[in-house]
Amino acid sequence: MAHVFTVVELTQEIKGMLGEAFPALAVRGQISNLRAQSSGHIYFSLKDEGAQLVCAMWRSSARRLRFRPEDGQDVVATGRIDVYPPHGKYQLIVDDLAPLGVGELHLRLEALKRKLALEGLFAPERKRPLPLVPRRVAVVTSPTSAALRDFLRIARRRAPTAWITVFPVRVQGEEAQGEIVRALRDVPAVGDFDVVVATRGGGSIEDLWAFNEERVARAIADCPVPVVSAVGHETDTTLADLVADARAATPSEAAELVFPETAELAARLAENRARLERAAGERLARARERIVALERTHALARPLERLRLVAQQLDEWEARGADALARAVAAARERLARTAAHLDAVSPVAVLARGYSITSRGDERAPLTSARDVRTGDRLRTRLAQGEVESQVTAVHATPDEGGET
């Protein structure tokens, strides 16, 4: 029998499945039945000619809206699908809402975010640390902007000796992205800068769009000098902010980030010193523990006893070696004696000692074995056990099996 769900169980299953299937999406439609609650939450529906979708926007997200939503407006809502269990209805939890024209920019921005994120351009591990005390700073911004004035005001107070070079660019409009890209590429060629600050004041998404262009984001990522992005206000987040090595909410905060105050710098140094001292102390403690452990070992606790034990083992091995060598020599001598006795037994000299002799003809070495090999008048040499005898053949007598007498 199939499992029987309770209503709560089934609703939770559906809620989980919808959440996994639609973790983030954008929906275009017309606002209807808008209700702004005293709690700050906003409830409304998105509809088109064939359907409608219940939406909820929590206060934390509604506070970031840059326009006042009204019934009849065409908008793009971004968020996630969820289920409201008491009513058993699915709804869109809206994280951001924009008028339709602006909403298309939001869709484009989200697509670029996903693309660059997949390439790892936002990864924390590729972020470079800022120099502790920068000497030369490049600022890419409009030379007449309030953002530059705010940055310089803080910089002069905190680092009056720092060398600041402004790379003038337009920060909005069709030409802005090209000028920003060229400036970022010119920075390493112009001078040996320690850090780059790309900044402008706040504005609408259209005003800030130059810093959402893919070319600008890649130029920041490719810049060999660490980059600080300070674009817009605290609630504005651009691709430049996400790619940069550090992000400041405002131009003033960028100056504070780049040029720490003396007290803050001293605090950093003290913190680094304390961290180094802790690390050194921990290493010393571990070294002491190892030394104590070595002192407790048998070899170091009683070194003389250990040396005597080794010497005794060496003496034992030496004695064993000497015994083995003596046995090997005795066995070799015994084998040599047996071999000598055998050789003596089969030696021709021993045969001669028993009364036999060896006869050869003249100076020939080969012994004679048949009378037929001798002729009358041949000179013979006969070797005895002691000495030799020379003689001359006067007659030769062959045995019958050799063909009779000659």
Strand, helix or coil at 225? coil
3-state secondary structure (DSSP) of residue 180: helix
Q: Where are the beta strands (DSSP E) in 110-153?
A: 136-141
Distance CA 59, CA 56 (A): 10
Least confident segment among 99-108, 292-301, 351-360: 292-301
Predicted confidence at residue 333, as pLDDT, reads: 81
**Alpha-carbon span 46 to 55, nearest angstrom:** 7
Alpha helices in 119-198 (DSSP H): 146-158, 176-190
Beta bridge partners of 57: 42
| Cα–Cα separations (whole angstroms), residue 4 to 7, 45, 88, 344, 385 | 10, 33, 18, 110, 124
Contacts of 152 (CB under 8 A, 6+ apart): 164, 255
**This prediction's pTM:** 0.48
Q: What is the pLDDT of residues 332-347, one digit of tens each?
A: 788 877 776 766 666 6
Burial of 405 (0-12, 13-18, 19+ CB in 10 A): exposed
Amino acid sitting at position 136: R
Collapsing DSSP states into helix, strand and coil, what is residue 364? coil
What is the SS3 assignment for 339? helix
Residue 257, both tokens: 């980030």
Q: How far apart are CA 318 and CA 339, in angstroms?
A: 32
Most confident of 51-55, 72-76, 365-369: 51-55
Phi then psi dihedrals of residue 302, to 5 deg: -130, 70
Output the CA torsion sign for 97, 101, 102, 103. positive
At 201, give phi and psi (nearest 5°): -80, -175
User: DSSP character for 27?
Assistant: E
Name the one residue in this structure whose structure tokens are 């206000």. Answer: 233
* CB-based contact 185:138 (threshold 8 Å): no
The answer to whether 222 and 244 are in contact (CB under 8 A) is: no
* Confidence at residue 404, expressed as pLDDT on a 0 to 100 scale: 46
Instruction: Summarize the confidence of residues 268-276 as an average pLDDT.
Output: 77
Read off the pLDDT band of 371 (50, 70, 90).
Answer: confident
Residue 244 one-letter amino acid:
A
Per-residue pLDDT tens digits for 31-67? 999 999 999 999 999 998 889 999 999 999 999 887 8
The first and second tokens of residue 104, run together, are: 């298309």
Top-confidence range, 39-48, 362-371, 396-405: 39-48
